[in-house]
Homo-oligomer: A and B are copies of this chain.
Amino acid sequence: MGIKLYFLRFEKENTVIMMIGVTSFLLTLGFFVWTSTGVSDVLWTPRIVDYKEDIDRHKRDADRIIDYLVTGAGKGVVYNNLAEMTDTYGYRLCGTQTLENVIDYMVDKLKKDGLDNVHKEPVNVTRWVRGNEWAKMLTPRVKPLSILGLGFSVGTPTSGVTAEVIVVRTFDELRDRAREVKGKIVVYNQVWENYGQSVEYRSQGGIEAAKLGAVAALVRSVTPLSINSPHTGQQSSDDWAKKIPTASITVEDAELMWRLSRRGINITVTLYMEAQNLSPVTSYNTVAEIKGSQYPEQVVLVSGHLDSWDVGQGAMDDGGGAFISWQALSVVRKLGLRPKRTLRVVLWTCEEEGIQGGQEYFRVHRNESTNMNIVMESDMGTFTPQGLLFTGSDQAMKIIKYLAATLLKRVNASNVAPDADLTDVFNWPSLGVPGASLKTDDASYFYYHHSQGDTMTVQDPDEMDLCSAVWAVTAYTLADLENMLPANRTISLK
C-alpha cells in the first residue's frame, strides 16, 4: 500500500469521522439552543397545555376542599386540633418522653382519621437536656439576665462560671481582639440584619469563643423584636460546641453590656447551667397515607415537624406546619377524594437538633426519588397564606404557577416565588425532586421563634384554615394530575 493510497483511505475515514463529529456538534448546539433560548418551551407547550387542562379539571375538587375548610365542617378544626395537642402536652423536645407520647397520640389521631399505612419509622436521635440555668451581671451593678442555653452546650461547674466579659459585634472584631479573649465570657451583640446573617452567631459563636480560650459565650437572641425575651436554638454540629457553656441572652441585655463596655466599664457576669448531652435514644418519624388509585408507588409528600424547642408550646414551630399537613390528608379523606398518586404526610422528629428525622428519612428512602413527585414542608409559620415558594425546574415552576393562579386565587394565595424553605426535605432537590413550602405573611415569625412566646396565641384559626386549604389543594391536585411534575431531575435546580 503506497503512501498516497493510505492518505486516500485515511481521508475517506476522516470524512466519515468528521461527518459524525459535525453532526454531534450540531446536535449538541441544537440542544443548547433548545434549552437556553426558550425554543424548548415552545416545543414543550403541548405538554404544559396538558397540565393546564388537567389543572382546570380540578377546579371543582379544589373548590370543595376550600369550601370545606374555610366555611364548612372543617372550619376551625385544625386550630382546635393543634390547641388540644399543645395545651395537653406543651413543648416536645427531642429525646424526651413527651415527644414520644405526642408521636403515639398522633398515630392514634391519624388512624382515627381513617388514613392508610399509619406507622412510625425509627430515628436514632441525640438527647440534649437543659436543666436549671440562670445568669446575672455582678458588676457594674447586680442585674439578672434572662437566658436560654443553646443546643449542644455543656453545663457549668456547680459553682457556675464567673468572669469578666468581652463584648463584640462581629466575628471580625472577635478575631481582632483574640488576645483579650482567654479566660473571659464572650458576649456577642451582633446587629439583626436577617435570620440568615444573625443565626451565624448562634451557630458558631460558642465555637469561635471556645477556640480562643473563652470560658463561656453569651449570644444575643436572633430576633428583630424583643420584650426581654431570650430565643434558644441549635449550635453547629462541631465538637467545639461542646467545650464551653453557651447561652442566648436578650437583645436588651446584649445592648446594655455593649453600651457599658463602650464606656470602658468593666462587666462581670456569673453563668450557671446544668445542660448535658446524654446518650442517644430512638425516636420516630410519623407517617400516614392516602394510597393512590392508579400510581400508588408515586408520592406527593407533605410535612411539618412534630418536635419543638423546650420553651413555649411549639405551636408555631412547627405545630402549625405539622397540623396543616395532617389536615391536608384529612380533608381529602373526609371529602371522599382519591388521588391517582399516593398522598403521604410525614411528621418529622428532631428537626430542631439538626434535621435528624429528615436526614434519616432521606437516607432510607432516597432510592425512591424517581417516584417522589414533590416534597412539601411548612416550617415558617401558618400566617395568612400568600401562595407557595417553589424549588424545581422552570417547567415545573410554570405548572405550579398555573395551579396557584387557577385553584388558589379564591383564597388570595396565587403568588408563587422561587426558593422553597425545605428544612427536613432539603436533600431531595439534589436528586431532582421538586420542593414547595408555604409563602405566608410571616413578618412576625422571628418575634416568637424558639422563645416562650411560641404558643397558640400566635395562631389564628382563620389563617390556619387558609393555610390548610392552600396545602391540601396543592398536594391533592399534584397527586391527581395525570403526569408527575417534569422534574428535570438530572439538571441542576434553583
Q: Which residues of A contact B (CB under 8 A)?
A: 83-84, 87-90, 140-141, 143, 146, 225-229, 251-252, 255-256, 259-260, 263, 312, 447-448, 451-453, 455-457
Beta-carbon contact of B83 and A453 below 8 Å = no
Cβ of A83: which chain B residues have Cβ within 8 Å of it?
259
Beta-carbon contact of A456 and B259 below 8 Å = yes
Known interface pairs A87-B256, A143-B90; A312-B456 also in contact (CB < 8 Å) = no
Additional A-B contacts beyond A84-B263, A90-B143, A255-B457 (7; CB < 8 A): A83-B259, A87-B260, A227-B451, A227-B452, A228-B455, A229-B229, A255-B456
Residue with the greatest number of chain B CB neighbours at <10 A, chosen from A84, A88, A453: A453
| Cα of A93 to Cα of B446 in the assembled complex, Å | 32
Beta-carbon contact of B457 and A252 below 8 Å = yes
Cβ of A456: which chain B residues have Cβ within 8 Å of it?
252, 255-256, 259
| Cα of A267 to Cα of B17 in the assembled complex, Å | 86
Contacting residue for A229 out of B84, B89, B228, B260, CB 8 A: B228
Nearest-neighbor residue (CB-CB) of A447 within chain B: B227
Cβ of A87: which chain B residues have Cβ within 8 Å of it?
256, 259-260
Residue with the greatest number of chain B CB neighbours at <10 A, chosen from A84, A225, A227, A448: A227
Beta-carbon contact of B229 and A88 below 8 Å = no
Cβ of A447: which chain B residues have Cβ within 8 Å of it?
225, 227
Cβ of A260: which chain B residues have Cβ within 8 Å of it?
87
Beta-carbon contact of A452 and B140 below 8 Å = no
Cβ of A259: which chain B residues have Cβ within 8 Å of it?
83, 87, 456
Beta-carbon contact of A252 and B455 below 8 Å = yes
Cβ of A225: which chain B residues have Cβ within 8 Å of it?
227, 447
11 example contacts (A-B, Cβ-Cβ < 8 A) are as follows A84-B263, A87-B260, A89-B141, A146-B452, A226-B453, A227-B448, A228-B229, A228-B452, A229-B229, A252-B452, A252-B455
| Cα of A83 to Cα of B261 in the assembled complex, Å | 13
| Cα of A312 to Cα of B84 in the assembled complex, Å | 34
CB distance from A30 to the nearest CB of B (A): 58
Nearest-neighbor residue (CB-CB) of A255 within chain B: B457
| Cα of A447 to Cα of B227 in the assembled complex, Å | 7
Cβ of A453: which chain B residues have Cβ within 8 Å of it?
226-229, 252
| Cα of A183 to Cα of B457 in the assembled complex, Å | 29
| Cα of A88 to Cα of B263 in the assembled complex, Å | 11
Beta-carbon contact of A455 and B256 below 8 Å = yes
Known interface pairs A227-B226, A227-B447, A452-B146; A457-B90 also in contact (CB < 8 Å) = no
Residue with the greatest number of chain B CB neighbours at <10 A, chosen from A312, A448, A457: A457
Beta-carbon contact of B140 and A88 below 8 Å = yes
Beta-carbon contact of A226 and B457 below 8 Å = yes
CB distance from A263 to the nearest CB of B (A): 8
CB distance from A76 to the nearest CB of B (A): 13
Cβ of A256: which chain B residues have Cβ within 8 Å of it?
87, 455-456
Cβ of A84: which chain B residues have Cβ within 8 Å of it?
263
Contacting residue for A90 out of B141, B448, B452, CB 8 A: B141
Known interface pairs A226-B227, A447-B227; A88-B141 also in contact (CB < 8 Å) = yes
| Cα of A260 to Cα of B451 in the assembled complex, Å | 22
| Cα of A453 to Cα of B451 in the assembled complex, Å | 14
| Cα of A225 to Cα of B227 in the assembled complex, Å | 10
Cβ of A448: which chain B residues have Cβ within 8 Å of it?
227
| Cα of A456 to Cα of B260 in the assembled complex, Å | 12
Question: Which 6 A-B residue pairs are closest in the complex by CB-CB distance?
Answer: A227-B453, A228-B452, A227-B229, A252-B455, A252-B457, A227-B227
Contacting residue for A228 out of B88, B143, B263, B451, CB 8 A: B451
Cβ of A457: which chain B residues have Cβ within 8 Å of it?
226, 251-252, 255
| Cα of A452 to Cα of B140 in the assembled complex, Å | 19
Residue with the greatest number of chain B CB neighbours at <10 A, chosen from A89, A226, A251, A263: A226
| Cα of A457 to Cα of B146 in the assembled complex, Å | 15
| Cα of A260 to Cα of B225 in the assembled complex, Å | 29
Nearest-neighbor residue (CB-CB) of A141 within chain B: B90
Beta-carbon contact of B312 and A228 below 8 Å = yes
CB distance from A334 to the nearest CB of B (A): 23
